[in-house]
Amino acid sequence: MNKRYKKGWETLGKINSQAGQRILDLLKDISPDMARFVIEYPYGDIYSRPGLDLKTRELLTIASLTTLGYAKDQLKAHIKNAFNAGCTKEEMTEVMMQMSIYAGFPAALNALFILKEVLQEKKDAKKK
């Protein structure tokens, strides 16, 4: 276990170690190296940097994934990360609304619908 991998897990541990573990599990028989790269580069090299706090980084990621339009699973995972990093539902809503300007209304609306899904899942989980 190299330094970057360790740092990546430390950073992931602050926002969503389950999501990290899930990607590892999914990739283990098909591409364990890619699983390692996902921990090392995004989380070990980038998210762990001091220049921006994790809360801001998650909002930026939501902005980017909303703009891409097609990355629905990743957006869902990062909405959960964003909650763990201390972002509120209101802040995420603002980010997605703002994206209507740059990426168009379909991108913004699809992101809001995914946020709605996550909120519903949270509600359902509480009931149990």
In the complex, what is the shortest distance from the CB of residue 128 to a copy of itself, in angstroms, rounded to a whole number? 21
119 binds a copy of itself (CB under 8 A): yes
- The structure tokens listed for 116 are 């709605």
In the complex, what is the shortest distance from the CB of residue 58 to a copy of itself, in angstroms, rounded to a whole number? 10
Q: How many residues does the chain have?
A: 128
Task: Answer whether 19's CB lies under 8 Å from 26's CB.
Answer: no
State CA 49 to chain mean position distance: 16
In the complex, what is the shortest distance from the CB of residue 65 to a copy of itself, in angstroms, rounded to a whole number? 6
Residues 19-78 that bind a copy of itself (CB under 8 A): 23, 26-27, 29-31, 33-34, 37-38, 41-42, 45-47, 49, 51-52, 56-57, 59-61, 63-71, 73-74
Q: Which of 5, 48, 80, 109 binds a copy of itself (CB under 8 A)?
A: 109
Nearest to 54 by CA among 93, 16, 108: 16
Residues 79-108 that bind a copy of itself (CB under 8 A): 89-91, 93-108
State CA 10 to chain mean position distance: 15
Q: Which is nearer to a copy of itself, 13 or 56 (CB)?
A: 56
- What are the C-alpha distances in Å from 117 to residues 34, 44, 80, 102? 28, 29, 11, 23
